[in-house]
Chains A and B, each alone.
Chain A
Amino acid sequence: DQQVKQNSPSLSVQEGRISILNCDYTNSMFDYFLWYKKYPAEGPTFLISISSIKDKNEDGRFTVFLNKSAKHLSLHIVPSQPGDSAVYFCAAKLQGGSEKLVFGKGTKLTVNP
């Protein structure tokens, strides 16, 4: 069963506009969420994270929003740049469990010049 879901396999935006990537989860025991970016033939690169005690975390052009009641988080990238084109993975960690991460299937973002 898919505990972390990224329902949009792909997203295309214009350079300079906002990119919004979405992620839903089913397990209310997740207490920490992360976003990773992945280029082809490379490993995932950590972008930004958020604890379940917060509803927003910002780092430069990247902001993550967490809505616990809806079990939903989103990653906003503004302004989007062509170099942001990659696959973005949402991941979650269980409270009190081992440190293993549960990943979504990813969303491929294309930023057009």
Chain B
Amino acid sequence: NAGVMQNPRHLVRRRGQEARLRCSPMKGHSHVYWYRQLPEEGLKFMVYLQKENIIDESGMPKERFSAEFPKEGPSILRIQQVVRGDSAAYFCASSPLGADRSIQYFGAGTRLSVL
């Protein structure tokens, strides 16, 4: 049973370009979460999605950031017109339905570097 898959593992972008981060949840999981980690910091919640629905985007910046989890395919976190401050590790997590949904399982992350 494959875990949460994120790609790419490393992404380098120049200021002003777009970054697309992909996440495939664990098999059987229908909830996806995105978190961001800055150096020497804990993980900060960004957005929580279920298939075709954004449930909670309270942690996501209002501009330049968007997320989707389509009916088919992986969840995508999109950052438009990246700036140096977007450089961070972005982690995706997934959880199942039901009583165990409070336990989130994380992918290895995408490390975004903005030049």
- A residues near B (Cβ < 8 Å) are 4, 6, 32, 34, 36, 41-46, 49, 89, 91, 93, 98-106
Q: How far is the CA of A14 from the CA of B91 in the complex (A)?
A: 32
8 closest A-B pairs by beta carbon, nearest first, are: A98-B56, A43-B106, A103-B42, A100-B45, A105-B42, A103-B43, A43-B108, A44-B106
Which B residues have a C-beta under 8 Å from some C-beta of A?
4, 6, 31, 33, 35, 40-45, 48, 55-56, 58-59, 91, 95, 101-109, 111
Q: Is the CB–CB distance between B59 and A100 below 8 Å?
A: yes
Given A43-B6, A100-B59, 14 other A-B contacts at CB below 8 A? A4-B42, A43-B108, A43-B109, A44-B91, A46-B103, A89-B42, A98-B48, A99-B48, A99-B55, A99-B56, A100-B45, A100-B56, A103-B43, A106-B42
Which of the listed residues A6, A44, A46, A93 has the most CB atoms from chain B within 10 Å of its own CB? A44
User: Whole-angstrom distance between the alpha carbons of A43 and B45 in the complex?
Assistant: 14
Q: How far is the CA of A42 from the CA of B76 in the complex (A)?
A: 20
Q: How far, in whole Å, are A4 and B6 apart by their CA atoms in the complex?
A: 27
